[in-house]
Amino acid sequence: MKQSMTLIPTLREVPADAEIKSHQLLLRAGFIRQNASGIYSYMPLARKVLQKVEAIVREEMERAGAVELLMPALTPAELWQESKRWYSYGPELMRMKDRHERDFVIGPTHEEVITSLVRDEVKSYKRLPLNLYQIQTKFRDEKRPRFGLLRGREFIMKDAYSFHASQESLDEAYQKMFTAYSNIFTRCGLNFRAVIADSGAMGGKDTHEFMVLSDVGEDTIAYSDSSSFAANIEMAPVVVEYQRSDEPHQELEKVKTEAQKTIEEVSSFLNVNQSNCIKSLLFKVDESFVLVLVRGDHEVNDIKVKNLLEATSVELASPEETRTIMNCSIGSLGPININSEVQVIADHAVKAVVNGVCGANEENYHYVGVNSDRDFSVNQYADLRFIQEGDPSPDGEGTILFARGIEVGHVFKLGTRYSEAMDATYLDENGRTQHMIMGCYGIGVSRTMAAVAEQFNDENGLMWPIALAPYEVHVIPINNKNDAQRELAEVLYSNLQDKGFEVLYDDRAERPGVKFADSDLIGIPVRITVGKRAEEGIVEVKVRLNGETLEVHTENLIETLRTFIVK
Amino acid sequence: MKQSMTLIPTLREVPADAEIKSHQLLLRAGFIRQNASGIYSYMPLARKVLQKVEAIVREEMERAGAVELLMPALTPAELWQESKRWYSYGPELMRMKDRHERDFVIGPTHEEVITSLVRDEVKSYKRLPLNLYQIQTKFRDEKRPRFGLLRGREFIMKDAYSFHASQESLDEAYQKMFTAYSNIFTRCGLNFRAVIADSGAMGGKDTHEFMVLSDVGEDTIAYSDSSSFAANIEMAPVVVEYQRSDEPHQELEKVKTEAQKTIEEVSSFLNVNQSNCIKSLLFKVDESFVLVLVRGDHEVNDIKVKNLLEATSVELASPEETRTIMNCSIGSLGPININSEVQVIADHAVKAVVNGVCGANEENYHYVGVNSDRDFSVNQYADLRFIQEGDPSPDGEGTILFARGIEVGHVFKLGTRYSEAMDATYLDENGRTQHMIMGCYGIGVSRTMAAVAEQFNDENGLMWPIALAPYEVHVIPINNKNDAQRELAEVLYSNLQDKGFEVLYDDRAERPGVKFADSDLIGIPVRITVGKRAEEGIVEVKVRLNGETLEVHTENLIETLRTFIVK
């Protein structure tokens, strides 16, 4: 592609409202332009990157046995009413009325549409399993669109849906899709983890998010430093075996701790470790109240509380509720001598605390010399805290570290959530009606491009991995008024294309400084500079990723390029 | 692709609401399913056909120098207000409000968005010309969606927009795009014509529509039987040289024609040819009234009237207006002795009428022996009628025939319609501000698929041309419980794919009749039936398009297939 024929509107300045690297650089390098908040045009270079992501996705989907179709963006409200999401999705669901005042949803996802399609066409177990995917523009009315393509309102996704007559069949498809996703993000060059995720209110069980490691990610991942274990921090089990010290038990004593409220203040005031304090939090769990105890240096993980108690809703009690139930303020809570109707559950670590400190349910007082079971009773010990850096990895291999992640993919066992709501059934081998068992699998295609931009850049611009680069080679004559340089550049442009390389040719009448700055910004993997030695047939080859530079005779150019650009 | 893994929901019955062949067959062969009125899912086979159309479009666009990008579907209302189309587009424009009550258009076309993008990024003549295209889903809220994909509310289009610093540059791009369009529809196997079209209210000049010839088309095309001339009938000039007979002029006479109103009735009653009658129609042209005369066997083309009089609006006068202006009913109109304030214009053919018949502006009377210029005066003679079959072709070659056409493409010189409205300017070589000159170029991608289905079918189903076929070869074992047949079929499935053929393999446990009926319906170009002679290594090859059948040894199969499937 001749640069004069395409549109690559580079910017020298960092756009004011772009907070993160990928957003800044995709704007500056002329890959995207904003048309409205959270809504972007993909300029020619971005379109090429997206096509490469899409091609990789298609190849891996086909290999996993998924078949491509394309559903509409405008989806009738009736389907969303059947699934009830019309009522529960909230303002992120974009709705519109047609000229006949019929309601439509501009689709953020397609569980409803695909379920209705398969329900209408598949009646027998003989036609299952089925795994259908599409690559399509999706719409979600984010309250606060931000970070460029990472959280936009119109974005490109690959979404797949599988339908099964048995759990085993779903498990098999899930595993295939898991492998496909790993392949896709590996081929995109991303540093990512498949992370155990919360199946949330969807009713499913297994679910993994594919997270690209990045400081700008909105999620925190706990991962092992020596195995493939990774989980959203709220999902990571804690497997520490706490040792109770054999220090002699002191007497329980109430001490004055005037104005000392937080764990930090109290431990410092009493000169004890935070790990010797017992933190007490009162939760409203569905309709009853539960006191949850964790060690002072730990944090309660309310998802674990929710799962332990098989509750629908878990939230911290308000100051008023705390006063009513415990007759004290939130900062004074403790487990000793409390109303026996309040259930007490404690993290395993609390059991190992010897001669600890806890609140006295009385302003300005704490207990010291506290020992569990002697001084207070616990209905149940369980894993109730968030995992921390330094904890052992739950799979027994290595130590936990934290990282931030950008979610680029999600695989999910839906079960019968949609097939029951929408009555998608088949006849099994015995002629009995059964609900189809479903899985769903998403990849943010445009978000993947942004995640790659976030991971591959330096102070001069983007640095595309070969597999996703808009072009593989950037040919730049230093002075295109010099006949030898221009002619050699044009010959190379043409020859390299004939040899199957994707070439961007800077034929613009710009100063060398502008051309090099643009080239660094755009980030084509290999640059060929045609300069003073053009007449000798010698050009400079520079690798964007590591800055490696070498002078090469054009006779050896193809061979040299093939060492950098392996297809 | 194994048929058991994909979803091809064929139907035996013709769906009740599908009026035309392509709609019926795309439904019956499992290519599409309707999700709402005018809104369809493209099932796996259709998705593949669309991808083939898209690949051809991309190749030809690149060859024509157009560069791909992708604009959003959600476009801010402000842009449409700038161009004024927010106010003029009517209910076909799909509008919606986001959660902050901001207005958006769900784009039916992207002149506004592309003009705003280029306006913001291109400031100098040095960056022109530029030709940008996208392949994207479009939305238009048709009042009466019909004919399946031919007139839907959500459809796939390729739209391109070019920007220029001179008319010559636009002309050059227009010619390249014209060639690209001809190549695209030729490669799709379509029988089409590039038709001179009405540039309508767009203010442009040159415009061609690419029309697929089909009886179900909504437009009528006048084309030459011996040249490439083709035009929408309203755009075809009439170049007949009418000869005035030298028959002696009779006296003008008013005759009673009790209850005879139409040209047919009057000519029959008076025993004259319709071509000897003069038909008079009163038009309201902007704010004045004009009497238009054509021969009795001709029809007034109001676009020609409009163009001749350089009018904004041309419509037939109402009975009340006719009474007020001419003091008679519409059926009695004639040009003799009328109010001199009413302008009279006449088609050239009227001048050649000798001793004609016309209305007398009086109920139940006509004039006979009418001769133009002697009995009535005409302000201007011009080409004012619709062309007819049998007329000479305007390019001087051959005779005009009519055909119906489906519009699949449109190339259009927009001029400065949008650049002026939206202030898209550049600095020319002299540093002066100029409005960019634009062209726009559309192809209905999903409509092209339907047009191919409409042209390629027989009583048994679809018959895809190789270039667009979802698969090239359909491998069918007659009895897949027979080991020899099943094993040979599987070997062929695998080998043919290795050789680069796209193969659909019917591995379903269905009766042969079902498999063959489905195969005919789906319309893969070449079918390989593996039957009784499997053990000898002999299979049957059948060409869908012409029914040609031959028995082939598997050793010669690749060679045989290559004669049918030329890539």
For residue B130, which residues of chain A lie inside 8 Å, CB to CB? Answer: 5, 7
ipTM of the modeled complex: 0.90
Average pLDDT, chain A: 95
- Cβ-contact A219, A407 below 8 angstroms: yes
The whole-number pLDDT of residue A200 equals: 57
The string of pLDDT tens digits covering residues B424-469 is: 999 999 999 999 999 999 999 999 999 999 999 999 999 999 999 9
Q: For residue B203, what pLDDT band results from cuts at 50, 70 and 90?
A: very low
Q: Are strands B130-139 and A288-295 parallel, antiparallel or unpaired?
A: unpaired
- Architecture of the CATH domain A471-564: 3-Layer(aba) Sandwich (3.40)
Q: Which of B50, B74, B132 sits opposite A36 (nearest CB)?
A: B74
Q: Residue B2's closest chain A neighbor by CA?
A: A65
Q: Judge whether B9 is closer than 8 Å to chain A, CB to CB.
A: yes
Residues with Cβ within 8 Å of residue B83, at least 6 apart in sequence: B111, B112, B115, B418, B421, B422
Superfamily, domain A21-237+402-453 = Bira Bifunctional Protein; Domain 2 (3.30.930.10)
Question: What is the token pair recorded at B173?
Answer: 């791009």
Q: Which of A133, A124, A145 is nearest to A40 (CA)?
A: A145
State the angle between helix axes of A557-564 and A483-498 in degrees (0 to 180), rounded to the nearest 10: 60
Q: Mapping DSSP to helix (H, G, I), strand (E, B) and coil, where does residue B327 land?
A: coil
Q: Are strands B526-530 and B473-477 parallel, antiparallel or unpaired?
A: parallel
- Percent of residues, chain B, with pLDDT higher than 90: 91
- pLDDT of B202 > 50? The answer is no
Q: Judge whether B491 is closer than 8 Å to chain A, CB to CB.
A: no
SS (H, E, C) B46-107: HHHHHHHHHHHHHHHHHHCCCEECECCCEEEHHHHHHHCHHHHCHHHCEEEECCCCCEEEEC
Q: Locate tokens 């203010």: which residue?
A: B203
The whole-number pLDDT of residue A205 equals: 64
Q: How far is it, in rounded angstroms, from Cα B566 to Cα B187?
A: 13
Distance from CA of A82 to the nearest CA of B (A): 14
Question: What is the token pair recorded at B376?
Answer: 């009535």
**Domain(s) of CATH 3.40.50.800: residues in chain A:** 471-564
Altogether, the residues listed in chain A come to a count of 567
Low-confidence stretches of chain A (pLDDT beneath 50): 201-203
* Cβ-defined contact of B74 to A104 (cutoff 8 Å): no
* Cβ-defined contact of B33 to A73 (cutoff 8 Å): no
Q: Residue B140's closest chain A neighbor by CA?
A: A98
Q: Judge whether A75 is closer than 8 Å to chain B, CB to CB.
A: yes
The DSSP code sequence of A272-311 is --GGGBEEEEEEEETTEEEEEEEETT--B-HHHHHHHTT-
- Cβ-contact A513, A519 below 8 angstroms: no
Mutate to test the interface with A, among B32, B74, B445, B518 (most CBs of A within 10 A): B74
The string of pLDDT tens digits covering residues B236-277 is: 999 999 998 888 999 999 999 988 888 999 999 999 999 999
The DSSP code sequence of B499-510 is TT--EEE--S--
Half-sphere exposure of B128 (CA within 13 A, CB side): 30
Q: Does an H or E element contain A254, and which?
A: strand A253-256
Listing from the earlier edge strand, what are the strands of the sheet with A356-359? A253-256, A365-370, A356-359
Q: How far is it, in rounded angstroms, from Cα B141 to Cα B233?
A: 27
The whole-number pLDDT of residue A202 equals: 46
- Cβ-contact B153, B128 below 8 angstroms: no
Identify the DSSP state of B249.
Answer: P
Q: Which of A4, A99, A509 sits opposite B143 (nearest CB)?
A: A99
- Cβ-contact A23, A31 below 8 angstroms: no
Question: What is the token pair recorded at B345?
Answer: 């214009």
The whole-number pLDDT of residue B205 equals: 64
The DSSP code sequence of B143-179 is SS-BTGGGB-SEEEEEEEEEEESSHHHHHHHHHHHHH
Q: Locate tokens 């934290």: which residue?
A: A402
Q: For residue B200, what pLDDT band results from cuts at 50, 70 and 90?
A: low
> Which CATH fold would you assign to the domain B21-185+418-453?
BirA Bifunctional Protein; domain 2 (3.30.930)
Average pLDDT, chain B: 95
* Cβ-defined contact of A44 to B130 (cutoff 8 Å): no
- B262's torsion region: left (phi>0), alpha (psi -120 to 50) or beta? beta
For residue A39, which residues of chain B lie inside 8 Å, CB to CB? Answer: 72, 74, 76
Distances (CA, A) of A249 to A244, A267, A335, B533: 11, 19, 18, 91
* Cβ-defined contact of A47 to B70 (cutoff 8 Å): yes
Where do runs of H (alpha helix) occur along B200-279? 263-270
CATH assignment, B253-382: 3.90.960.10
* Cβ-defined contact of A72 to B122 (cutoff 8 Å): no
What distance, in Å, lies between the first and last C-alpha atoms of chain A?
20
For residue B44, which residues of chain A lie inside 8 Å, CB to CB? Answer: 67-69, 132
- pLDDT of B201 > 70? The answer is no
Q: Per-residue pLDDT averaged across B43-63, rounded?
A: 98
What distance, in Å, lies between the first and last C-alpha atoms of chain B?
20
Distance from CA of A121 to the nearest CA of B (A): 6
Q: Judge whether B41 is closer than 8 Å to chain A, CB to CB.
A: yes
The string of pLDDT tens digits covering residues B145-167 is: 999 999 999 999 999 999 999 99
